Amino acid sequence: MSEIAPLRLAQVCGPDLRLHRSAIRWQRGFGEHFNAGDLLGHCNVTLVNAARNGQTRHRLEPDLAMLQIALVARVSGCLQEAPGTSAGGFADFQEWFPWESDTVVANVAIDSDAHVTPGQPLYDTQFVTGRPITSLAENRTGLGTGWVNRKRAWRTGDGSAADTGTVLGLGICELPFILRGEQGSFEEMLEAATGPVQLVDIPDIPIIHSARTIIQQIEQTQSDRNAVEAEFKRAIGESAAHSDPEDWIFAATCVAELNRDPTNETYQILSADGLSTAGPANAIILSINSEHSSRLRHRKLGFYLDCHTFRISSLGPAMRNWLKAHFEWVPYSTDMIRRDYTEMMKLLRKADPHRQILVLNAASTLRREDVMSYAAFDAPLENQLKSVQARALNSMLHDMAEETGIAIVDCDAIAARLGSSICVPDAVHQNGEMQTAIRQEILAILAARQVPGFCR
């Protein structure tokens, strides 16, 4: 017969902080069975940062305004409703309730064969937050929803927040879904952690994090940033009569992304230990598919604007004309990419020589092509043919792995093994099976490379 146990709120912050929460939004219906590792529910939370009793107000990072707490089951069983805990309406969104540890929010009928550790909570506390592009884009209708330029989640579990390892994703569209998982809040990666860990993902919107972009972001001075901002302000000004707000948003987000340095960012962590700071990241994951054979370079200032061509194609004519007037397409060879990677590695490891860099290589057998003669293509072939460039870049990574210690996440081999036509059906995006396989590969590398939070 199942044991019925109360699901109590855990201690999630130090005694000098107060947290308010919304009602719990359950992901499992009452009476519905769940397994260990399943997301049970989440709530929106806010830190009440009031100075009182002589205490100093904490400086809170902007992304903590989107803070949410998810309850991830440690045991299997069924949820049962606790009397007086139903909410609905704005109670599910607004932080109307003080977070008081030991509050019973539901009951759990624990499976008779579930392993329960006495004294341990029935769930793991997972924090999820994101830095909205603008406060207008704040959206907490779901767990981890909203247009953010940095999304992160962490669990400290039974460990100390001071030991939190951080893994940062800076890839193209293939990477966020792998890292964030099926639910979108990094559950699979966090579930595999062996200690306190944080996952951070920065999407490729609108800037792609190529090696050259990362170098620019690290090395730029405030004067450089001011010049970039002035350029895009001019873009809006010059095209204002004929452009629309969507183009202005593109220009503004380009400035915001070009002028930050994500590889050196730190992160405010909330835990039962209180507020602490984690980072910069112990490991960074990149995509070789962020490297293109031709790039936009500013004619006067020389900075590169790496952006998916479909975004540029969707801009209005006024903004496209401005880009055409002020940027030029420059060819970018594999040798140039190799030079960038060498330079980037030195910069990324300047402060932390043990920092691990993982790179997803390119699947080279994606397309239904069958080239019998290369006579109709111009040399160098890797600048014209996608499959040849994919192989050239993979070879480059292989050489660099021996020289610099880059860890290759071999998507090429995974795609071939699983069948690329099956697992990448539109020749660009992976299905769940392939994302799971790549995720397992990333986890194996993080463990082998002794990244904090994933060491075995």
Partner 1 sequence: MLLKLVIPAILDQADTVQIESIDIAENTRLMPGAQICEFTSGIDLADMHDCPPTTTYRMTSSENAWVRTVSARPGDQLLSGDILAVLSTGPDDPLDGQEERRARNTIAAIFKPVAW
For the bound state, the minimum distance from the C-beta of residue 365 to partner 1, rounded and expressed in Å, comes to 12
> Contact letters (x/-) for partner 1, 255-294, by CB under 8 A?
-------------------------------------xxx
Residue 371 interacts with partner 1 (CB under 8 A): yes or no: yes
| Residues 6+ positions from 15 with CB-CB distance below 8 Å | none
Of these, 51, 59, 88, 369, which contacts partner 1 (CB under 8 A)? 369
Strand 197-201 to strand 165-169: parallel, antiparallel, or no bridges (unpaired)?
Answer: parallel
Residue 11 interacts with partner 1 (CB under 8 A): yes or no: no
Of these, 126, 129, 389, 430, which contacts partner 1 (CB under 8 A)? 389
Query: Please, which residue, 214 or 315, has the CB nearer to partner 1?
Result: 315
Quick one: which of 173, 168, 233 has its CA closest to 201? 168
For the bound state, the minimum distance from the C-beta of residue 307 to partner 1, rounded and expressed in Å, comes to 10
Q: Sort 153 into a burial class: Cβ within 10 Å, 0-12 / 13-18 / 19+.
A: buried
Residue 379 interacts with partner 1 (CB under 8 A): yes or no: no
> What is the rounded CA–CA span in Å between residue 270 and residue 352?
24
Query: Please, which residue, 9 or 296, has the CB nearer to partner 1?
Result: 296
Query: Please, which residue, 213 or 282, has the CB nearer to partner 1?
Result: 213
Is the Cα dihedral 182, 184, 190, 191 positive or negative? negative
For the bound state, the minimum distance from the C-beta of residue 373 to partner 1, rounded and expressed in Å, comes to 4
Query: Please, which residue, 190 or 323, has the CB nearer to partner 1?
Result: 323
Q: Decide: 397 and 411 in contact? Cβ < 8 Å.
A: no
Query: Please, which residue, 242 or 324, has the CB nearer to partner 1?
Result: 324
Angle between helices 317-326 and 245-258 (to 10 degrees): 40
For the bound state, the minimum distance from the C-beta of residue 173 to partner 1, rounded and expressed in Å, comes to 5
Of these, 51, 241, 375, 379, which contacts partner 1 (CB under 8 A)? 375
Query: Please, which residue, 185 or 389, has the CB nearer to partner 1?
Result: 389
Residue 135 interacts with partner 1 (CB under 8 A): yes or no: no
Q: Which of residues 173-192 bind partner 1 (CB under 8 A)?
A: 173
219-255 residues labelled b (16+ CB within 10 A) or e (exposed): ebeeebbeebbebbeebbebbeeebeeebbebbbbbb
Torsion of CA 200, 156, 26, 139, to 10 degrees: -30
For the bound state, the minimum distance from the C-beta of residue 81 to partner 1, rounded and expressed in Å, comes to 37
Q: Decide: 287 and 360 in contact? Cβ < 8 Å.
A: yes
Residue 301 interacts with partner 1 (CB under 8 A): yes or no: no
Quick one: which of 49, 87, 92 has its CA closest to 68? 92
Q: Which of residues 406-435 bind partner 1 (CB under 8 A)?
A: 425-429
> What is the rounded CA–CA span in Å between residue 323 and residue 311?
12
